[in-house]
Structure 1
């Protein structure tokens, strides 16, 4: 089965959220078979930053919903936005 890479922008719940601990919580709460391949901090405005993460998951029905739900349930996560989804063999820009 093919693997997918989903690039997701994760907004903090508030300006005081510790983004490093949010990243660690996301990594530990991912469902079986999914992983956070990498992440970067993206400046938004007024010193606020968002996490942009690349997540590996199986190309199967319901997997994206599980991923989104596991991220939303992490303390310190506000909004999430799926920026891109592609097969793992495709290089995302």
Structure 2
């Protein structure tokens, strides 16, 4: 089995949300079998900025499920969506 890299888009509830606080909470919420690689900001519209969270997880049953569940529990996060997933070679 190999590892998988996934990009998960987090949409804040509003443009007024403190993105730095969300980023800190993302780092703190990673399950032990996942490694946070990078967080990128993506401007959407009208001041709203999404966060693309890039994580590396083991290629096992459940994959990104634990990461998605933890990210969805962060305050001020409105939506969590896996936008890309690839196997590392």
TM-score normalized with structure 2 length: 0.91
Number of residues of Structure 1 aligned to a counterpart in Structure 2: 89
The alpha-carbon deviation at position 63 of structure 1 amounts to: 3.0
Match of 2:13 in 1: 13
Deviations 1:24-63 (A, max 9, x none): 1011111112121011110100111000111111111113
In structure 2, the gaps of 5 or more residues are none
In structure 1, the gaps of 5 or more residues are none
Give the 5 Å matches for 1:40-51. Answer: 40-51=40-51
Match of 1:84 in 2: 84
Q: How big is the alpha-carbon RMSD for the aligned residues of Structure 1 and Structure 2?
A: 1.1
- The answer to whether the 8 A contact 1:35-1:57 is kept is yes
Give the 5 Å matches for 1:21-40. Answer: 21-40=21-40
- The answer to whether the 8 A contact 1:35-1:55 is kept is yes
TM-score normalized with structure 1 length: 0.88
The alpha-carbon deviation at position 88 of structure 1 amounts to: 2.4
Moved over 3 A (4+): none
Give the 5 Å matches for 1:46-65. Answer: 46-65=46-65
Tell me the secondary structure at the aligned position of residue 17 of structure 1: coil
Tell me the secondary structure at the aligned position of residue 15 of structure 1: coil
